[in-house]
A and B are shown apart, each in its own frame.
Chain A
Amino acid sequence: MEEYRLKMSNISKSFPGVKALDKVQLEVRPGSVHALIGENGAGKSTLMKCLFGLYHQEEGEIALDGKNVDITDPNTALKLGISMIHQELNPIPYRNVVDNIWVGRFVKKGVIVDEEKMKTMTEELLRDLEFDIPLETLAKNLSVSQLQAIEIAKAVSYDAKVIIMDEPTSSLTVAETKHLFKIINRLKSEGRSIIYISHKMEEIFEVADEITIMRDGQYVGKWAIGDITIDEVIRQMVGRDMEERFPPAEDTIQKEVLLKVEDFTSAEEHSFEHISFELHKGEILGIGGLVGAQRTELVEAIFGLRKISSGELTMSGAKIKNQTPQDAIKNKFALLTEERRATGIIPMLSVWDNTLVVAYRKLADNILGVIRKKKIGKKVNDVCKELDVRMAGTDTLIKNLSGGNQQKVLVGRWLLSDCDILILDEPTRGVDVGAKYEIYKIMRDLVRRGKAIIMVSSEMPELLGMSDKILIMCEGKLSGILDKTEANQVEVMKYATMFSNKAKEEVSE
C-alpha cells in the first residue's frame, strides 16, 4: 500500500489579480483524519475545490493511491472516490430527504427510478449513522442541523476513499458534533481518509491525526497532532504571535441607559416571550443560549424585521417603535445578520457599493439624490482604512474578499449610517482567528466611542471574553442576566438549559 492515499503537490491556481494557491502540497494517509487549517483566504477551500473538480489547478499534480489523476469536474471526483461535505449547505428545497441524498446517482429499475429501493437504502444509511430524520420531509422544512446531517450522510454514502469535510460542525450543537466525531472515527477505522477543515481548534485537536497549515495561499507545514500545540498552530496560521485571543476589556460603560427593552414577546408562536433588559452606552451585551433559544428572532424583532405582539422600546428616555427596519435605522440601530452571505453582502457589487447600501441616501443629501463620488469617496476610504479592510481597492467585488474582511465591510456599512446601537448576530461565524481578533478590536473601539453593542454569539469563549453583561435565553424565555464578573462556562450553560429537559440531556451527554 502506498504511504499516502492522496498526494497533492505543487498546486497553483490564480484568479484575476490574486494568486490563490502557490505551489501548495497536501499529503493524506489512509485511515486518518487530516486537518487543513488556515485563515480565511488562505486557500483551503480553493485547494479543496481543485481536488473536487470545481476548479482546475494551473500547475501541480494530484495522485490517488500513487496514480496521477486529472479531476475535471465533480462527477470525476466522485467516481474516483472523493466526496465532499460542502461548507455552504445546498439543499434542494422542494425535494425530500431521499432525493437530496441520492441526487446524481438515482437507482434505476429499467428506465424507472426505483423509489422503494432508494427509500430502503436511505433508511439503512440513516439508521446506520444514527440520524433520525423522516424520509419524506421536504428539505425546506428541515432544520439547519438536519440538513447538515443529510450532507454528512450523503458524503458517507458515496463509499468514498477520501471525504472532504469543509466546516461540517458550523451549525451543529455540542452533542451533534460528538455524534459526527463518532462517525468520523468509524470511517477512519474502515481505512478511509478524511480531510477536515474547521476554525475550531478544540475540535481539531480532538479529532485530527495530522495537520497541514496554509497561509496566504502557501503551504506552511505539516505536523502530527501530538507534535504541535494550539498556540503554535495559531502562530503558524497568522504568521505572527497572538498573545491574546481577545483585546483587553476596558471600563467604557457609561451611566446613561441607551436602550430599554421591556416585555418583548413575539407575534409568532413558540418564539421569544417577555424579554426585558437594559443596554448602557458603551456596553457590550452578549446574548447566549443554545440553538433554538430564539436569540436571532429577538434581535431581529428589535430591529423591526419581525413582528411583536407586545413590548416597548425606550431609547435615551423616549419611547420609540421599530416596526420596520427603516424605523430602526432612523432610530440609529444597526444589524449585522447571522447569514452574511444570504442577507449581508451583495456579492456582485463592489466594496464601495456594499459599504454605502444604507448610507447612500443620507450621504447624497441633495434633493435629487445625486451621488457625488469625491465627497462620499473619502468617507468610504476612511472607514475602510479605519477598519483595516484588506483589499485591492474599493472597486473590488465584495465576493472576492475573505469572510473576515466582508464582515468588516458590513460593520463599515453601519458606521457610515451613524448608528448608536449595533446588533451583531454571530459576528465571527466563519471568520478566522486573526480576523476575529480584529473584529473584537473594532467592537472595543466602538464602545469606547460611546456606542452600544448587542452581540448574539454561540461561541462560549467569545461570549465570555467580549461581553460586559450576558443575557441568556432558553427556549424563548429570558433565563438570566450575568455580569461578566460572575459569568463562566458552567453558569452560562446552567441558564441556557434552565427550562428544557431536552437541552439538559444534550449538555450532559
Chain B
Amino acid sequence: MKTIDIKKILIDKALVIVLLFMIIGIIIIEPSFLQWRVFTDIITQSAVKMICALGLMFPLLIGGTDLAGGRQVGLAAVLIASLSQMADYSNRFWPNLPELPIILPIFIALLAVALIGAVNGFMISKLKMAPFIATFGMSTIVYGINCLYFSKKPNNSQPIGGIREDLRFLSSYKLFGQISLLVVIAIVALVIVWFVLNKTVFGKNIYIVGGNAEAAKVSGVNVNKVIISVFIIESCLVGLAGIMEVARTGGANSSYGNAYEFDAISSCVVGGVSLSGGIGRVSGAAIGVIIFTFISYGLAFIGVNANWQLVIKGIIICSAVALDMRKNA
C-alpha cells in the first residue's frame, strides 16, 4: 500500500518537485543565488503577486475566473495615484485637489473595484453568463474607463508621479531594515484569507458552491449571494494589489496590472487550485506564487534570455493544467 501512496504523492506534487529541482539547478549554476538579499528581493516581489493570487483564488474556487483582474489592478492604481500626489508636485492630475487623508483615496479606489466585482458577480450569478466571457468583456470595459480617466486634461495620458510619502512608506519603510510593509500586508492577507476560507461558513460555502452548485442550492445555500460576494472580495484584493503597486513604484499609468490575472491563475494552478472549482488550499496558492517568483528571478539571475523565460513559464502553466486534469480524472 505504501508504494501506491508514494506514487499518488508524486503525481499530486509532481510540479512542485520539478520546480524545486529547477531552483536547485539554478543554485548549482550560480551559487551566489543563495544569499539573504536575493531572498528578501524575492519575497518583496512576491507580495503584490501574492495578493493577486489570493484574490483570483476566490473565483477559481467556485469554478469561475476573472479575466478583468489585472485591469482592476490598473484602475485601482491610477485612481489612488491620481488622488494621492504631493501638493507641491509640478504635474498634478487634479491640480487644485488638497492633500486628502490617505485613507480616502484608498477607500475610493477599493470602492470602485468592488463595484466592478459586484457587476461581475451579477453577470455570472443572475444573468448566468459564463465567467470567462463575462469577465473578458469586463476587462475591456475597465481598461477603457481607466484610459478615459487617465487621458483627462491636464494629465493627457502621462504617467502619474509624485506619490505622497504616507503611501510610499508601505514600500520604503523596512521592518528590521530588511522587509518592507508590503510583505507584511501580504502575510496578513494570507492569514485572513486562510481564516475566511477554512473557518467561516462563507468560506465553506465557497468550496461547496464550487463543488456542486446544485447541491448547495437545494441545501438552502444562497448561491447567487456567494458568487457575488466572491467577486467583490476578489476585486478588493486585486484593488489592494494596485494600491501596493503604486506604493512600490511610486507612480502609475493605465497599463499597470496588465495580465496580472494570468500570473495569479498560473500560481494558483501550480499550487493545486483546481480550475474546475471546489478544490484548492491557500497554502498551495502561496507556494505557487513563491515558486513562480523564484523561477523567474532565478532564470534572470543566471542570465537566461527573457524570451526563453516566457517559453519556460508557458510550459510550466500547461503542465500544471495537464496535471490538474489528471488529478480530477
Hey, which bits of chain A sit against chain B, CB under 8 A?
Answer: 52, 54, 74-75, 78-79, 84, 86, 90-95, 99, 103-106, 108, 111-113, 154
Contacts and interface: CB of A to CB of B under 8 A. Distances in A.
12 contacts: A54-B218, A78-B219, A78-B220, A90-B215, A91-B212, A92-B212, A93-B278, A95-B278, A103-B215, A103-B221, A111-B199, A112-B199
Contacts of B207: 92, 94-95, 99
A38 to B, nearest CB: 22
Contact of B211 (A75, A79, A95): A95
A52 B208 contact: no
Closest 7 CB pairs of A and B: A104-B219, A92-B211, A90-B215, A104-B220, A75-B220, A103-B219, A106-B201
A242 to B, nearest CB: 34
Contacts of B199: 111-113
B23 interface: no
Interface in B196-217: 199-201, 203-205, 207-208, 211-212, 214-217
B149 to A, nearest CB: 37
Contacts of B218: 52, 54, 74, 84, 86, 90
B200 A74 contact: no
B216 to A, nearest CB: 6
B287 to A, nearest CB: 19
Given A99-B207, A111-B199, 7 more contacts: A78-B220, A91-B215, A94-B207, A94-B279, A95-B278, A103-B204, A113-B203
B36 to A, nearest CB: 37
Interface centre among B200, B205, B279 (most CB of A within 10 A): B200
Contacts of A78: 219-220
B200 A113 contact: yes
A95 B201 contact: no
Interface string B12-42: 0000000000000000000000000000000
B29 to A, nearest CB: 40
Nearest to A106: B201
Interface centre among A84, A95, A111, A112 (most CB of B within 10 A): A95
B289 to A, nearest CB: 22
Interface residues of B, number: 21
Question: What's the dominant secondary structure at chain B's contact region?
Answer: helix
Contacts of A94: 207, 211, 278-279
B217 A103 contact: no
A154 to B, nearest CB: 8
Question: What's the dominant secondary structure at chain A's contact region?
Answer: loop
B178 interface: no
A154 B215 CA distance: 12
B201 A113 contact: yes
B115 to A, nearest CB: 25
Nearest to B207: A95
Nearest to A112: B199
Contacts of A105: 219-220
A86 B218 CA distance: 9
Contact of A108 (B201, B205, B279): B201
Interface centre among B199, B208, B215, B222 (most CB of A within 10 A): B215
B215 A92 contact: yes
B220 A74 contact: yes
Contacts of A93: 211-212, 278
Contacts of B203: 113
Nearest to A101: B219
B222 A99 contact: no
A306 to B, nearest CB: 14
A99 B211 CA distance: 12
B43 to A, nearest CB: 29
Contacts of A111: 199-200
Contacts of B217: 74
Contacts of B222: 75
B208 A92 contact: yes
Nearest to B274: A94
B278 A113 contact: no
Nearest to A103: B219
Nearest to B199: A112
A267 B180 CA distance: 57
Contacts of B208: 92, 95, 99, 103
B204 A106 contact: yes
Given A112-B199, A113-B204, A104 B211 contact: no
Contacts of B221: 103-104
Interface string B28-60: 000000000000000000000000000000000
Nearest to A75: B220
A95 B197 CA distance: 13
Contacts of A91: 212, 215
Interface in B69-98: none
B1 to A, nearest CB: 12
Contacts of A112: 199-200
Interface centre among A78, A92, A113 (most CB of B within 10 A): A92
A90 B211 CA distance: 10
A90 B212 contact: yes
Nearest to B198: A113
Contacts of A95: 207-208, 211, 278
Interface centre among A78, A84, A93 (most CB of B within 10 A): A93
Nearest to A88: B214
A299 B28 CA distance: 55
Contacts of A52: 218
A482 B279 CA distance: 48
B263 to A, nearest CB: 25
A74 B278 CA distance: 22
A197 to B, nearest CB: 16
B60 to A, nearest CB: 14
Contacts of A54: 218
A388 B209 CA distance: 40
Contacts of A74: 217-220
A108 to B, nearest CB: 6
A112 B201 CA distance: 7
